[in-house]
Amino acid sequence: MRKILGNLGSDERHTFQAEFGKYGYKRYYDKSRGDLYSPTMVVRNVRIVDDPKNPKMVTDHLWLNLTKGFADLGLLETGDLIQFNGRVSQYNKGFINKDKVDYELTYPSKVQLLTDRKAQPLPDDHRAQIGMIMNLNYKFYLNNQRPLVAYFMDGFAQWQKAQDTPLPIECHKGTDYENFNSYDSLDYSAEKEKLEKDEAEKQKDLEQKREAGLKILKEKPDLVKDLVALGKELEQKSQDSKQHASEQYCYISNGKLRVVTAKYKLGKSETSDIRQALTTDWFHEKFNGKEEKLSPLEQLAGKFNKGL
């Protein structure tokens, strides 16, 4: 089922709804800072709701980073319904070679809690947040020999004592695993700033390529006709064989697009621009047979020409 996510592509953002499962953490090693912990959460029964009247299941479960948007919802309970926008991203997983391809949702935004209740605020301190998660999953982590680091768990206990209304979470003592006196916190603000900058630059580059591709297509009507004909042929084959084909690109793969553009002596760069132009409303209208509306002056000229 996770392949459905891959079929959505990574160029556009989509709206999803899911049921909250539980909080967790991922642990990884940094050469300069050692073992680091990052908060996560699992959601279940993930549906794409770009069309609210026609939701589609995309995966039975998915792990997400506990970003500020999700954390700001407060302490979630199993089954809480949440909604957010996200972009599909491909990554490699595997214990040794990381040779397995999987898909995830990144850059969540417009996060909402659809369940009608007010949730208590979570710690905004990284140390206390990881400690909260370790306490929430204390029995499971203990039985499975997962790290229960005293530094984090003590941090959550201190945070609880400072609250007028503590979270309904029992505080436990950490194990001897990595019982450090200090711990390096992740600099999420710097990481977020870099991610947002990279994303903005990527979107700007894609927009420039779309504009360049549209200019080429508008100057070459015969190329447009060939691409529409090819897309229609591939659309029919996709339906007949029940194979996935990207509607976003009007069913035209990179390889087949290069064959057509070579006929018009267009290079790799121009082909790449045209690839992005295939996603525009202008080309989709051509593909779906919608004619552009003529201005009143053009309509009058047409009537005049017919009368000649």
User: Residues 235, 237, 241, CA angle at the centre, nearest 5°?
Assistant: 120
> Is 218 within 8 Å of 255 (Cβ atoms)?
no
pTM (global) more than 0.75? no
Number of Cβ within a 10 Å radius of residue 243: 9
Residue 129's nearest CA partner among 49, 192, 37 is 37
HSE of 48, CA atoms in CB hemisphere, 13 A: 19
> 233: which DSSP letter?
H
d(C-alpha 110, C-alpha 91), whole Å: 24
Distance CA 135, CA 92 (A): 30
Angle 32-148-175 from CA coordinates, rounded to 5° = 110
pLDDT in tens, the chain (308 residues): 556 776 776 778 899 999 999 999 998 777 777 778 999 999 999 999 988 889 999 899 999 999 999 999 999 999 999 999 998 887 766 545 555 777 788 889 999 999 999 999 999 999 999 999 999 999 999 888 888 998 899 999 999 999 999 999 999 988 866 545 445 444 445 555 666 777 788 888 889 999 999 999 999 999 999 999 999 988 888 777 655 557 888 889 888 999 999 999 999 999 999 999 999 989 999 998 865 555 565 555 555 555 54
What own/partner pairs with CB < 8 Å and gap ≥ 24 does 204-211 have? Answer: 206/11, 206/276, 209/272, 209/273, 209/275, 209/276, 209/277, 210/273, 210/276, 210/277, 210/279, 210/280
Helix (H, G, I), strand (E, B) or coil at 44: strand
Its sign, for the CA torsion 47, 50, 56, 58, is: negative
In angstroms, the CA 110 to CA 23 distance is: 20
Question: Which amino acid, 283?
Answer: F
The number of residues making up the chain comes to 308
Cα–Cα distances in angstroms (integers) from residue 163 to residues 120, 130, 159, 242, in the given order: 11, 17, 7, 56
Nearest Cα to 101, choosing from 112, 90, 113, 111? Answer: 90
